[in-house]
Amino acid sequence: MLRHRSNQVRSLHVLCYEKIFALAVPPRPRAASPPIARSYSLDVPAELLRTQGFIDGRWVSAAASFPVLDPASGQQLVEVADCGRREARAAVGAAHAAFHAWKRHTAKERSVLLRRWYELLVQHSEDLAKLITAECGKPMKESRSEIAYSASFLEWFSEEARRVYGDIVPSPLKDRKILLLKQPVGVASIITPWNFPSAMITRKVGAALAAGCTVVVKPAEDTPLSALALAELATRAGIPAGVFNVVPCSRERTPAVGEVLCTDPLVSKVSFTGSTATGKILLKHAADTVKKVSMELGGHAPFIVFDSADVDKAVAGAMASKFRNSGQTCVCSNRFLVQSGIYKRFIERLAKVMDAELRLGHGFEPTTTQGPLINVRAAEKVEHQIADAVAHGATVVRGGQRLEGSFVQPTLLANVTTEMLCTQEETFGPLVPVLKFNTEEEALAIANASHVGLAGYFFSQDVSQIWRVAEQLEVGMVGVNEGLLSTSEAAFGGMKQSGLGTEGSKYGIEEYLDIKYMCFGGLTL
């Protein structure tokens, strides 16, 4: 465990026992090679490796602490302050007090501060990426990409801060003017997941601060270090005390802290990214005080490949969509539907590309493309889905094995049916179950047979079909001949039980604004 040493560089030496895993396993899994011990060092400035909560511009301790683990090795990285109800209420109070001054900052002043914060993220991108790899397990290449993505939201909303326009509406009467003003809602509780521990914060907080709101962030218990580093950089950027607060807590204290953040009458807005089940609980909490709520919840994305598709491009899209962060993204393709005319060719080609491109290992290893899943529970879920599919007749084409710790082989299954568990619930892991379909209507029926609708993807070169399918897919985001679609400029959100509201784009800031109608009467015109 690391202890605080100000103005020094912390060096974290984690001994990780890693296996060199065989990926291709037709017709049965190969035995793993003997473990190879490797030592990985995380060298970041002490000021960026924070272990306390951040409330009202101050670093605060809690009565207890909880461990943060390296998911690749299971080794403890640090212990972080385990904030509870008291700290959560203090953070809300600080945010509420700061709101009255922050909302009076001009849009340009807020824009300049957000821009400074963005520039600091870019300046410290390598250290921030190391924190993500250490606590989340991503390969460094992906962690660097996340920091660029995270910074892009601060840049985008620094610009959007100056484009919050109201309206002057033509009045039906000559003695009055009708004005529609946009004003910040107030304190926003920001509850974020572990799979994008930096970007999920900036996507919400960038919009909130640009609008003139203040925030309390509760990061996931698995990945609090990225949130705390963001707090340090926010302070350096000149974000005033109380505007950005962070209350890390353990899994055991999460329900209590979450309840405070969703029920405190000083909170006006709740933004949550996570599971649909947890989102429903938070919605119930927020209902008692009728808070404004936005939620990005579970996905179960279909990936459809029609006979007219360019198979090589479809395979490349499948690789990008499925295996980013080892399949642990909310917009990952979960159900692969391939038309009968190219079904065999698609599977054969995908298997070869998996063999050539995917390498399991620790995220700090330069050749690694697939890190561990976030914890053992996540690995067990994938293992269970694979076993269920095989028991119901699926064929393992590649992978299929749960490995040491939370590692799972990237797995390709053929002969999959809709009766199998992997087609009925979100996987959040490196599993590619491929179903065969015959007609467009059949594919759409399977794709839309879900209570969630976040993202969907399909590959086709038939222009008429592209329009038909894009309009009929019951999802909030559609990738057409493209496997990666997230960007700060575009609206991010889902349909059905995948959530409420929109993040990113010009619409994301609207989630943190109220519209006030002002009738200016008694005029002589």
Peptide bond into 433 cis (omega under 30): no
Q: How many CB atoms lie within 10 A of CB 183?
A: 14
- Taking alpha carbons only, the member of 301, 395, 404, 302 closest to residue 351 is 395
CA dihedral of residues 279, 281, 283, 286 (deg, nearest 10): -130
With H, G, I as helix, E, B as strand and everything else as coil, classify residue 345.
helix
Torsion over CA: 205, 211, 216, 218 (sign): negative
CA distance 223 to 192: 10
The span from the first CA to the last CA of the chain, in angstroms, equals: 73
With H, G, I as helix, E, B as strand and everything else as coil, classify residue 1.
coil
Q: In the numeric block, which tokens belong to residue 59? A: 């670093």
Helix H or strand E segment including 496: strand 495-496
Q: Which residues are catalytic?
A: 296, 330
Peptide bond into 34 cis (omega under 30): no
Q: In the numeric block, which tokens belong to residue 400? A: 């299929």
Beta-sheet pairing, 9-18 with 244-246: unpaired
Q: What is the SS3 string spanning 113-159?
A: HHHHHHHHHHHCHHHHHHHHHHHHCCCHHHHHHHHHHHHHHHHHHHH
Q: What is the DSSP string of 200-213?
A: HHHHHHHHHHHHT-
Give every CB contact of residue 130 below 8 A, 6+ residues apart in sequence.
Answer: 42, 43, 44, 140, 143
Q: What is the DSSP string of 79-101?
A: EEE---HHHHHHHHHHHHHHHHH
